[in-house]
Amino acid sequence: MAATPSPQEARAGKPVSPPLDLQRPELYINRELSQLAFNRRVFEQARDPRVPLLERLRFMCITSSNLDEFFEVRVAGLVTQAEFGGTQTGPDGLTPSEALRRISEATHALVGDQYECLNEDLLPALAEQGIRFLRREEWDKAKTRWLQGYFENEIVPVITPIRLDPAHPFPRTLNKSLNFIVSLQGKDAFGNKDGMAIVPAPRALPRIIRFPEDISDGPYDFVFLSSAIHAFVDALFPGMRATGCYQFRVTRNSDLFVDTEEVDDLLRALEGELPSRRYGDAVRLEVADNCPAELAGFLLRRFELTEQDLYQVKGPVNLYRLMSLPDMLERPDLKYPSFTPGLPPQVPQGINMFTAISRGDILLHHPFQSFTPVVEFIRQSAADPNVIAIKQTLYRTGLDSVMVQALLEAARNDKEVTVVVELRARFDEEVNIEIATKLQEMGVHVVYGIVGYKTHAKMLMVVRRESGRLQRYVHLGTGNYHQRTARIYTDYGLFTRDEEIGQDVHNIFMQLTTHSKNPPLNRLLQSPFSLQPGILERIEREAANARKGKRARIIVKVNGLVSQPVIQALYAASRDGVKIDLVVRGQCCLRPGVPGVSENITVRSIVGRFLEHTRVFYFGNNGNPELFCASADWMPRNLVQRVEQCVPILGKKHRTRIIEDLELYLADNAQAWLMQPDGSYVRATIGKDETPISAQQSLLERYAEH
């Protein structure tokens, strides 16, 4: 690729070549392959000896769960496109069929490495710590007798084996459920000879069974449910003999489709669609590695899949079920050290949150700092007689959420409570429907946002009467109002009573409930209206500063970078001399370091104990920096297909603090992965004379209590 001179070079008399086509497919990475690359980085945590052993197992499980969702949504979407003759998936130029082929190659390699790590690394390391998964040849008489009793008393009463014949066709198998295909020999009670059967394992059964201590040889002896069923499957077919028993699992298309133009009630429409998620079209088949080819082929035909969709694994077909193991073990020495999230000095324990916010904006950085101030804010608002109204967006929240309980309490106390519940938060639809129903029953005004646009903004506004006038208090965040994820996701949250920000938040809530046209916002940027134009405008401003020889700098931290207009703007700014550092956790379709295009751009991904979730945008602006925190990533869905908020950080102290955090991430050499021009990632290395720097560990030491 021929490099085009920068404007500075052109002014210096160097020849000017034609403008570079920034839409060329080779400048973009396929988003699905980029997502797989992120999952590979997560998996590498399972192989990292620096990570505590049980945490390595968790990372293995997270990799498995990520792959499940990847197939349920991304691969399923590509399959649908391929079936309808789609020819292109995006800027990278790959057709759906080409993308599916490359996804299959990358995923087969990843899955092979997963099970090699499990069998040759993790399980032996666990056994050395007295945590053993016993194979059948390792059961002595006492264990075999106990497990047979467990099988007869706990498994047989709830299991339903299905013999395959014309009267019992192949059963509908639930998405991601554990099943066994069994080959049978002999005659059944009706004289039918030989055949096959399907044995579904009910989800109520634990996938890991612990042997009692009195028959164990060590502190923690376990067996997989699949091993127990394999051992005693004959008992399910009296008079016949099982000549083979092989576990399998099918993954199905789980993306819900609701035609919003034809729906009168979104909640009822989603309720009707949820059951279909369990039985969508098959997209992946996992089987035991010892399953005979004829049985694997039989299953592929039943699910209308090809060899490309078959994954033969040496171990449990659902590794995610091992996620329960660390919580079953009292082994803190094999886990991350515990910590207590800190409280900022502006918010000591027990303070009135309105008093605290009135003294100045408050910035929280979770999980290093506690989520408790957010909970206290909504609790105090529910009880405060001076609070008139509460408005909040809910995207992902637990059924047992203290936030929801506080909103219910506020309604009981006759506050005017309005909640925007995004019913279509993927895989949380059922929970969100229950939350919406519960809130409505208490008299809360519940709306579901804008048809065709998910409401992904994280906003909480409280209106309080003070000294004869109404005062707005606002919380804006980069993450969900969810107490559990606040312990494992990194997110920023800002409390403020700034009048212009409060007016902006009020206007967005009015828009969500009335669909009215907003006047221009004072401070906030909002998608699908001003956020993408605002980002592009600021990138161009940095480029213009660079062209004039002024200071120009961009630092961005997001979870995904896919938007083609934004990538093109970054490429153009790089060519003008802007130094651009991108911290992108997951999907990144931009290629850094391409000659003549992106030499001034670096991309790094931080993968560690906590899931990086903050969205921060820094623009140097010739020494007068602008800094934003947002609910939105730089992806098409966030910038043009959702309602998102992006808030400027106005206080100099808070701006300085976030910039220092960003510099930590850019200096990280312990948990960082550096993206190469070809889209691959290499681990950052610690030089001979360098000090190891982990951004997450440094932030724990800076903000948390120990």
Per-residue pLDDT tens digits for 674-688: 999 999 999 999 888
Sheet holding 220-224, edge to edge: 131-133, 220-224, 208-210
CB 378, CB 390: distance < 8 Å: yes
pLDDT of residue 130: 96
Angle 694-697-703 from CA coordinates, rounded to 5°: 135
Residue in 209, 232, 219 with CA at minimum distance from that of residue 316:
209
CA–CA gap between residue 609 and residue 569 (Å, rounded): 33
**Burial category of 84 from C-beta neighbours within 10 Å (exposed 0-12, middle 13-18, buried 19 and up):** exposed
Rounded Cα distance, 95 and 101, in Å: 10
Query: How far, in Å, are 82, 570, 580, 601 from residue 561 at the CA level?
Result: 25, 11, 14, 13
Domains in the chain (CATH in brackets) are 98-334 (3.30.1840.10), 353-509 (3.30.870.10), 526-703 (3.30.870.10)
Looking at the predicted structure, is the pLDDT value of residue 551 above 70?
yes
In this prediction, residues 55-72 reach a mean pLDDT of: 96
* Residue of 379, 403, 578, 542 lying closest to 479 (CA atoms): 403
Once rounded to an integer, what is the mean pLDDT over residues 31-50? 97
Q: For the ranges 32-41, 102-111, 250-259, 424-433, which has the lowest average pLDDT?
A: 424-433
pLDDT of residue 276: 52
Q: What is the pLDDT of residue 516?
A: 85
| Alpha-carbon torsion (86, 89, 90, 93), positive or negative | negative
Task: Specify the pLDDT at position 260.
Answer: 45
| Highest-confidence segment of 296-310, 421-435, 441-455 | 296-310
Least confident of 425-429, 490-494, 537-541: 425-429
Q: Are 450 and 512 in contact (CB under 8 A)?
A: yes
- Is residue 378 very low, low, confident or very high in pLDDT (cuts 50, 70, 90)? very high
Does pLDDT of 668 surpass 70? Answer: yes
Q: Quick one: average pLDDT of 691-698?
A: 96
Residue 670 is classified by DSSP as S
pLDDT, residue 652, reads: 95
Task: Give every CB contact of residue 468 below 8 A, 6+ residues apart in sequence.
Answer: none
Distance from the Cα of residue 616 to its chain's centroid:
18
pLDDT at 274: 47
Residue 226 to residue 246: CA distance in whole angstroms: 9
What gap in Å lies between CA 549 and CA 114, rounded to an integer?
A: 50
At residue 256, does pLDDT exceed 50? no
In DSSP terms, 466 is beta-bridged to 469
Q: What pLDDT sits at residue 352?
A: 97
The pLDDT of residue 3 is 43
Scanning 369-449, the segments in alpha helix (DSSP H) are 372-383, 402-412, 429-441
Q: What is the reported pLDDT for 11?
A: 44
Among 616, 644, 618, 640, CA closest to 562: 640
- β-strand 220-224 against 208-210: which pairing, if any? antiparallel
The two three-digit tokens of residue 606, written as one number: 């931080």
Q: Tell me, yes or no, if 654 is annotated catalytic.
A: no
Q: From the CA atom positions of the chain, what is the Rg in Å?
A: 28
Side by side, the strands of the sheet bearing 282-288 are 162-163, 193-200, 179-187, 240-252, 282-288, 310-313
Q: 615-635: string of b/e by CB count within 10 Å (b at 16+)?
A: bbbbbbbbeebbbbbbbbbbb
Mean pLDDT over the full length of the chain: 91
Q: Which of the following is catalytic: 365, 366, 456, 613?
A: 456
Choice between 166 and 588, residue whose per-residue pLDDT is larger: 588
Instruction: Find tokens 């104990």 and name the residue.
Output: 609
Q: Which helix (H) or strand (E) holds 250?
A: strand 240-252
Binning pLDDT at 50, 70 and 90, where does residue 503 land? very high
Q: Determine which of 14-28, 46-60, 148-162, 552-566 has the lowest per-residue pLDDT on average.
A: 14-28
The pLDDT of residue 220 is: 95
Check residue 246 and give its pLDDT. Answer: 97
**pTM (predicted TM-score):** 0.92
Asked if 190 and 171 touch (Cβ cutoff 8 Å), the reply is no
Residue type, 209: I
Choice among 144-158, 423-437, 494-508, 593-607 with the minimum mean pLDDT: 423-437
Task: Specify the pLDDT at position 262.
Answer: 42
d(CA 390, CA 439): 13
Residue type, 314: K
Q: Give the whole-number percent of the chain exceeding pLDDT 90.
A: 79
Query: Mean pLDDT over residues 392-408, rounded?
Result: 86
What pLDDT is attached to residue 10?
A: 46
Q: Does the structure show a pLDDT above 80 at 58?
A: yes
Q: Provide the residue count of the chain.
A: 706
Q: How many Å separate Cα 494 from the centre of its chain?
A: 22
For residue 152, pLDDT over 50 is answered with: yes
Instruction: Determine what percent of the chain falls in helix, strand and coil, rounding each to the nearest 5.
Output: 40, 25, 35
| C-alpha closest to that of 229 among 169, 294, 179, 286 | 179
**Sign (positive/negative) of CA torsion 493, 495, 500, 503?**
positive
Q: Please determine, for residue 125, whether its predicted confidence score (pLDDT) is greater than 50.
A: yes
Range of weakest confidence among 83-97, 106-120, 488-502, 542-556: 83-97
- Residue 153 neighbours by CB distance under 10 Å: 9
Asked if residue 6 has pLDDT above 70, the reply is no
Is the C-alpha dihedral spanning 121, 124, 129, 133 positive or negative?
Answer: positive
Within 377-517, strands assigned E span: 387-394, 416-421, 445-447, 454-455, 459-466, 469-477, 489-496
pLDDT, one tens digit per residue, over 182-203 is 999 988 776 677 789 999 999 8
The pLDDT confidence band at residue 591, using thresholds 50, 70 and 90, is very high
Residue 427 has pLDDT above 70, yes or no: no
